[in-house]
Amino acid sequence: MLDILRKRRSIRKYQERPIEPEKIETLKEGLLRSPSAKNLKSWEFVFVENPETIKKLAQVRGASSSFLAGAPLAIVVMGNEQTTNVWVEDASLAAMIGQLVATSIGLGSCWIQIRNRDHSPELSAEDYVRNLLGIPEPYRVLCILAVGYPAEEKKPIPKGELPYNKIHLEKF
């Protein structure tokens, strides 16, 4: 596990190589094994492989999302806010599990924040994605994971550079 955690870095450049169907299947299984509050499974996912749709999704947040255009796969991570008031936690855990599974099978990924972000002064990032993919209420969009074979190398952060000051012993 620590090996996967060391390897996981945000990858924003991808090879043109497509992701094999077996690996897409592994990602799906991993996501669906995510825990959820009261086991209500409030999360939902849209897997997008259509390059034209991916290019449109990449325009959701300007420079913060433009790199998605080069990815062979976008996973849109959503939650049902009517199912639970902790859908954000459920969906965040699933997104992170998706990123760790991606790392474990040689793929790179990056989280693109959608919730509480804007597409333009008139349109939220969430409504932009909602309109593009036909996502109905009460589903909320948390983030998009850009996934693909890495075309950039990022080294693990050396252990000595980790912020151990954030770990408090016995009391804050």
Ligand X SMILES: Cc1cc2nc3c(=O)[nH]c(=O)nc-3n(C[C@H](O)[C@H](O)[C@H](O)COP(=O)(O)O)c2cc1C
Helix 21-32 vs helix 87-104: crossing angle, to nearest 10? 140
- Closest CB to ligand X among 35 and 156? 156
- The answer to whether 141 contacts ligand X (rule: CB under 6 A) is no
Binding to ligand X (CB under 6 A) within 85-124 occurs at: 110-113
Contact segment (CB under 6 A) with ligand X among 8-16, 19-27, 49-57, 72-80 equals 8-16
- The answer to whether 59 contacts ligand X (rule: CB under 6 A) is no
| CB contact burial 93-108 (16+ within 10 A = b; e otherwise) | ebbebbbbbbbeeebb
- Strands 43-48 and 139-148 turn out to be unpaired
Binding to ligand X (CB under 6 A) within 11-30 occurs at: 12
- Closest CB to ligand X among 25 and 123? 123
Binding to ligand X (CB under 6 A) within 61-80 occurs at: 64
- Which of 7, 10, 81, 132 is close enough to bind ligand X by CB under 6 A? 10
CB of 138 to ligand X, least distance (A): 22
The residues that touch ligand X, with contacts defined as CB under 6 A, are 9-10, 12, 64, 110-113
